[in-house]
Amino acid sequence: MKKLSKKIKLFISHFRSIFSLYSTLPIRKRFAILSDYRKLYKNKGLNVDEYYEYGFETQSNHFKKTFLGVNEQRFYLDFLNPIKYYILSRNKYFTHKILENTGIRKTTLYCYYRPEGVVEHSNEVATNIADVVRILQQRNVASCVIKDTENSHGEGVVVVKQITYFDNDCLLHLYNGERAHLSSMLGKHPLIFESLIKQTQQLEAFNKSSVNTIRFMTTLYPDGEARLVATFIKIGRKGSCVDNAGSGGNVDACIDTESGALKYVIRYDGMRDVTDITRHPDTDVQLSGVVIENWDKIKAQVLQYQKAYPYAKAAGWDIAITDEGAVVIEVNDMWDRTGQLFIRTGWRNEIRDCYNAWQQTGAKYILYRQQNELTLKHLLKISKQECD
C-alpha cells in the first residue's frame, strides 16, 4: 500500500507539472505529452524540466532514445569520474598543475590567488594584493585572463588587455574599455591569472571579441583507447569576451566529427529559444558548411589528451584552436546536456558503453557525488536496458 501511494503521488506530481508547463495546449494534447513523458521517465529517468526545456514534445524518436538526461548521466559519471578525482577538474588551479607534466597543451599559469593562509616568497601562489602584484611584475605580465577557480559557463571571467603597475596595486585595462584596480577584484574567492589565447585567424573571424572554443566529448576505455563522442563549437556574440551560452546567449553549431564541417548552426538565446542560422548574426561571417582547418590533427591531439588524463574517463574538453594546435581551456568531468541539442542527437549510447566497459573490469567506485532524484534500483534498471 505504501509503494502504491508513492506511485500515485509521483503520477500526480508529473500530471501537475506537465499540465502547468503546457497550459496553452488542448487537454488531449497535454494528456498525450503526459503519456510520452511517463514512458521516458520510466525508461530513462528523464525529469519534467528536461522534457520541457529540450522540447521533447516535438523531438524525433531518435533524439528521445539517445538523449542522456541528468539522472542517468550522474549515475554513469559518478562511476567513470569518481569523487576522489573531482577536485582535479573542478578547481582550475589544480587542473593547471595536473596538466603541466602530461604533455597536454594549455594556457600559461601566472599566479594563483588564495586568500586563506600565508604563503611566503612563492613565485606562483599569493595570499594578498602585494604578492599578486609582485608575482605578475616578476613575470612581466602585460595582459592576462582572470578566472574564479570554481566557476564554470564563463562566469567571472575577466579579460585584461593591459596592466599599469603601481606600488602594491595595479590598474587593469579591460577588454570592454573599462578600467578597474586589482585591489577591487581581490576578495574571499580564489582566482587564477593565466595567459591570453591567440586563436587562429579562421576562429577569430567568427567573432573577434571572444575565444571561440570547441567542445570535444571523449571517453577512455580499459584498454587505453580514447574515443571521440561528439564535437560542437561555441561562438561568442559581438563585444562579449566569452563564448558560453550560460553568459547571455551565443552561437553554436555541431561539428561533423569526421570532416570537421560546421552544421546545424543556431543562435542560442536560451532553452526553447533557438533560431536556425547560416551566418553569424553580428559579424555576418559564413558558418554553415565551414570546415575547421587541420581538423584531423586537432582531433588526434585531443584524443591523446584524454589518454593522458585518466582521472576523467568521460570528459568534456573546451579547446581553443591556435596556430600550434589544440590548447586546453578547461576540462569538465561533470557537464551539462545542452550540447545534445546542438548536435541534434544524444550521447547516451557512447557514455553508457564506456560505463559498461569499465563495469566489466570489476572496478568499484563510490557513487553519488551529487544527489540523484532516482533510486539506485531504478538507475540500475535503466542502465541495463535499451531504450524503447
Helix axes 376-383, 70-80, angle to 10 degrees: 90
Residue 98 identity: I
Residues 243 and 375 in one domain: no
Q: How confident is the model at residue 111 (pLDDT cuts 50, 70, 90)?
A: very high
Number of domains the chain is built from? 3
Q: What is the dihedral of CA 72, 381, 387, 219, to 10 degrees?
A: 50
Taking a C-beta distance cutoff of 8 angstroms, is the pair 257, 289 a contact? no
Residue 22 domain boundaries? 2-81+348-383
Residues 206 and 289 in one domain: yes
C-alpha cell, 292: 575547421
* Residue 87 is assigned to a structural domain of this protein: yes
Residues 266 and 177 in one domain: no
Residues 368 and 248 in one domain: no
**In the prediction, which pLDDT does 112 show?**
96
The per-residue pLDDT for range 191-250, each reduced to its tens digit, is 999 999 999 999 999 999 899 999 999 999 999 999 999 999 999 998 887 766 554 578
**In the prediction, which pLDDT does 87 show?**
87
* Residue 122 is assigned to a structural domain of this protein: yes
105 CB-near residues (< 8 Å, 6+ apart): 301, 324, 325, 326, 327, 328
Residues 279 and 204 in one domain: yes
Which of the two residues, 203 and 373, has the higher pLDDT score?
203
**In the prediction, which pLDDT does 247 show?**
46
Query: CA 232 to CA 48: how far, in whole Å?
Result: 26
Q: What share of the chain is helix, strand, coil (3-state, %, to 5)?
A: 35, 25, 40
Residues 93 and 212 in one domain: yes
* Residue 338 is assigned to a structural domain of this protein: no
Residues 176 and 117 in one domain: yes
Where does a domain end: 151, 167, 194?
A: 194
Which of the two residues, 387 and 81, has the higher pLDDT score?
81
Where does a domain end: 159, 194, 229?
A: 194
Length of the chain, in residues:
388
The per-residue pLDDT for range 74-99, each reduced to its tens digit, is 999 999 998 888 888 889 999 999 99
Residues 74 and 119 in one domain: no
Residues 71 and 92 in one domain: no
